Structure 1
Amino acid sequence: MNSRELYLRLLQNVLPYWRTFALSIVSMVALAATEPLFPALMKPLLDNGFVNRNIQMTWLVPVALIGLFLLRGLLTYAGSYAIAWVGNKVVMDLRDQMFRKIIALPIPYYDNSSTGALISKVVYDVGQVTAAATSAITVLVRDSLTIVGLLGWMLYLNWKLTLVSLVIAPIVAFIVKAFSGRLRAMSREAQRSMGNITQVLEETIGCNKVVKVFGGQEYEAKRFFDANNQVRRYNMKQTIAAAASVPLVQFFAAVALAVIIYIAIEQSSADQTTVGGFVSFITAMLMLLTPLKRLTGVNESMQRGLAAAESVFELIDQESEPDSGAETLPRAIGRVEFRDLGLTYRPEESPALDGISLIIEPGETIALVGPSGSGKTSLVNLIPRFYHPTSGQLLIDGHNVEHIRLSDLRANIAVVSQDVTLFNDTVAANIAYGVMRGANEAEIVAAAEAAHAMEFILRMPQGLQTLIGENGVRLSGGQRQRLAIARAILKNAPILILDEATSALDTESERHVQAALETLMEGRTTIVIAHRLSTIERADRIVVLQKGRIAEIGSHSELLERKGIYAHLYHIQFAQEHLPQAGV
Structure 2
Amino acid sequence: MSTDQSAKQPADEPAAAPAATASRPGGPGGRPGHGPMGNMGMPAEKAMNFTGSLRRFAGYLGAEKVRVVVVTVLAVVSVGLTVMGPKLLGNATNLIFEGFVSKQLPAGSTKAEAVAGLRADGQDQLADMMSGMTLTPGVGLDTTALRDVLLLVVAVYVGAFLFGWLQGRFTAIVVQNTVRRLRDQVEEKVNRLPLGYFDKQKSGEVLSRVTNDIDNVAQTLQQTLSQLVSSILTIVGVLAMMFWISPLLAIVALVTVPLSVIITAAIAKRSQPQFVRQWASTGRLNAHIEEMYTGHALVKVFGHQERAIETFDEENAHLYEASFKAQFISGIIQPAMGFVANLNYVIVAVVGGLRVASGTMTLGDVQAFIQYSRQFTQPITQVASMMNLLQSGVASAERVFELLDADEQSPDPASPVRVGRVQGRVAFEDVAFSYSPDAPLITGLSLVAEPGKTIAIVGPTGAGKTTLVNLIMRFYEVGSGRITLDGVDVATMTRDDLRSNIGMVLQDTWLFEGTIADNIRYGAGPDVDDARLVEAAEATHVDPFVRTLPDGYDTVLDEGGASVSAGEKQLLTIARAFLADPAILILDEATSSVDTRTEVLVQKAMNALRAGRTSFVIAHRLSTIRDADVILVMEHGDIVEQGTHDELLAAHGAYARLYESQFASALD
* TM bin (shorter chain): 0.7 to 0.9
User: Is it true that 1:89 corresponds to 2:177 in the alignment?
Assistant: yes
Partner of 1:76: 164
Q: Structure 1: which 5+ runs fail to align?
A: 154-197, 207-273, 580-584
1:48 maps to 2:95: yes
Whether the aligned pair in 2 keeps the contact of 1:339 and 1:358 (CA below 8 Å) is: yes
Query: What is aligned with 1:400?
Result: 489
Query: What is the SS of the residue equivalent to 2:474?
Result: coil
Question: Which residue number corresponds to residue 427 of structure 1?
Answer: 516
Flag the 1:424–1:512 CA change in 2: closer, same or farther, 3 A.
Answer: farther
* 1:28 aligned partner: 75
Q: Which amino acid aligns with 2:451?
A: P
SS at match of 1:438: coil
The 8 Å contact of residues 478 and 510 in structure 1, kept in 2 or not, is answered as no
Pick aligned residue for 2:420 from 330, 339, 342: 330
Distance 1:130 1:396 in 2: 46
Task: Letter of the 2:432 partner, please give it.
Answer: G
C-alpha separation in 1, matches of 2:417 and 2:504:
23
In 1, are the aligned partners of 2:75 and 2:230 still within 8 Å (CA)? yes
Q: Give CA-to-partner distance per residue, 1:513-540, whole Å, 9 cap, x none.
A: 3333233222211111111112212222
1:19 aligns with 2:66: yes
Q: Distance in 2 between matches of 1:131 and 1:463?
A: 44
Distance in 1 separating the partners of 2:522 and 2:222: 40
Which deviates more, 410-419 or 314-323? 314-323
Distance change (3 Å), C-alpha of 1:474 and 1:508: farther
For residue 539 of structure 1, the aligned residue among 628, 633, 639 is 628
Q: Per the alignment, do residues 542 and 137 of structure 1 end up closer, same or farther by CA in structure 2, a change over 3 Å counting?
A: closer
Tell me the SS of whatever aligns to 2:78: helix
Aligned to 2:481, the other structure's residue is in SS state strand
Q: Which residue of 1 aligns with 2:207?
A: 119
Which of 170, 182, 191 is equivalent to 1:103? 191
Tell me whether 474-483 or 302-311 shows the greater mean CA deviation.
302-311
Query: For 1:314-340, what per-residue CA distance to the aligned partner results, in whole angstroms no more than 9, with x for missing partners?
Result: 323444432127222212212222223
Is the counterpart of residue 436 in structure 1 residue 525 in structure 2? Answer: yes
Q: CA 1:114 to 1:279, structure 2 compared with 1: closer, same or farther past 3 Å? A: same
Mapped pair 1:550 → 2:661: no
Tell me how far apart the structure 1 counterparts of residues 385 and 548 of structure 2 sit (CA, whole Å): 60
Query: AA paired with 2:93?
Result: L
**Would you say the 8 A contact 1:485–1:517 is kept in 2?**
no
Structure number with the bigger relative contact order (C-alpha 8 A, sep ≥ 6) is 2
Distance in 1, matches of 2:391 and 2:632, equals 58
- Whole-Å separation in 2 of the counterparts to 1:434 and 1:90: 33
Taking the aligned partners of 1:376 and 1:424, their CA distance within structure 2 comes to 30
Matches of 1:575 and 1:556 in 2, distance apart? 17
Say whether 1:342 aligns with 2:432. Answer: yes
In structure 2, relative to structure 1, the CA distance for the partners of 1:282 and 1:66 (3 Å cut) is: farther
* 1:214-225 superposed matches below 5 A: none
Task: Report the CA distance between 1:369 and its aligned residue.
Answer: 0.9
Distance 1:485 1:556 in 2: 25
The 1-side partners of 2:574 and 2:430 are apart by 32
Question: For each residue in 1:250-305, what CA deviation from the matched residue of structure 2 results, as whole angstroms up to 9, or x when unmatched?
Answer: xxxxxxxxxxxxxxxxxxxxxxxx95799389828973564243121233333333
Match of 2:655 in 1: 566
Contact 1:7–1:133 (CA under 8 A) maintained in structure 2: no
Which residue number corresponds to residue 505 of structure 1? 594
| 1:151-170 deviations in Å (ceiling 9; x for gaps) | 579xxxxxxxxxxxxxxxxx
Q: 2:111 aligns to what?
A: none
Match of 1:144 among 232, 236, 239: 232
Query: Do the aligned residues in 1 keep the contact of 2:424 with 2:450 (CA within 8 Å)?
Result: yes
- In the aligned structure 2, how far is the partner of 1:459 from the partner of 1:525? 34
TM value normalised by structure 1: 0.72
> What aligned pairs does 1:88-237 form with structure 2 within 5 A after superposition?
88-130=176-218, 135-148=223-236, 149=238
In structure 2, what is the Cα distance between the partners aligned to 1:328 and 1:564? 42
On the 8 A contact 1:95/1:126 being kept in 2, the answer is: yes
SS class of match (2:511): coil
Q: Distance in 1 between matches of 2:638 and 2:83?
A: 83
Q: Distance in 1 between matches of 2:233 and 2:425?
A: 74
Q: CA deviation at 1:119?
A: 1.5
Of 65-74 and 316-325, deviating more is 316-325
Match of 2:308 in 1: none
Instruction: Evaluate the alpha carbon distance shift between residue 543 and residue 40 of structure 1 in structure 2; reply closer, same or farther with a 3 A threshold.
Output: same
Q: Quote the offset at 1:113 in angstroms.
A: 2.4
Whether contact under 8 Å (1:337, 1:357) holds in the other structure is yes
Letter in 2 for 1:125: D
Report the TM-score when normalising by structure 2: 0.64
Deviates more, 1:58-67 or 1:388-397: 58-67
Note the C-alpha offset of 1:82.
1.3
* CA shift digits 1:81-100 (9 cap, x unpaired): 21122111111110011111
Does residue 527 (structure 1) correspond to residue 574 (structure 2)? The answer is no
Larger mean CA deviation between 325-334 and 135-144 belongs to: 135-144
- Any stretches of 5+ residues in structure 2 without a counterpart? 1-47, 100-140, 243-248, 251-285, 295-361
Distance (Å, rounded) in 2 between the aligned partners of 1:370 and 1:39 = 84
Equivalent residues of 1:128, 1:305 under 8 A apart: yes
User: What secondary structure, in the 3-state scheme, does the structure 2 residue paired with 1:436 have?
Assistant: coil
Cα distance, 1:12 vs structure 2: 4.1
Deviation at 1:439, TM superposition (A): 1.5
Aligned partner of residue 431 in structure 2, secondary structure: strand
Structure 1 counterpart of 2:555: 466
How do 1:490-501 residues align onto structure 2 when only pairs under 5 Å count? Answer: 490-501=579-590
| Structure 1 counterpart of 2:417, one-letter code | E
Instruction: Verify the 8 A CA contact 1:451 1:519 in the aligned structure 2.
Output: no
SS at structure 2 position matched to 1:420: coil
Measured against aligned partners, the alpha-carbon deviations of 1:31-73 in whole angstroms (never above 9, x if no partner) come to: 2212331232134323322212223345444333322221222
Kept after mapping to 1: 8 A contact 2:454/2:629:
yes
Q: How many pairs does the alignment contain?
A: 461
**Contact 1:422 1:472 survives alignment (8 Å):** yes
Give secondary structure in 2 for the equivalent of 1:35.
helix
CA contact (8 A) 1:497 1:527 kept: yes
- Paired residue for 1:183? none
Worse-matched range after superposition: 495-504 or 443-452: 443-452
Bigger Rg, structure 1 or 2: 2
Residues 301-450 of structure 1 correspond to what in structure 2 (within 5 A)? Answer: 301-321=389-409, 322-324=411-413, 326-351=416-441, 353-434=442-523, 436-450=525-539
Q: Tell me the SS of whatever aligns to 1:25.
A: helix
- Deviation larger for 419-428 or 54-63: 54-63
Amino acid at match of 2:83: P
**How many percent identity over aligned positions?**
38
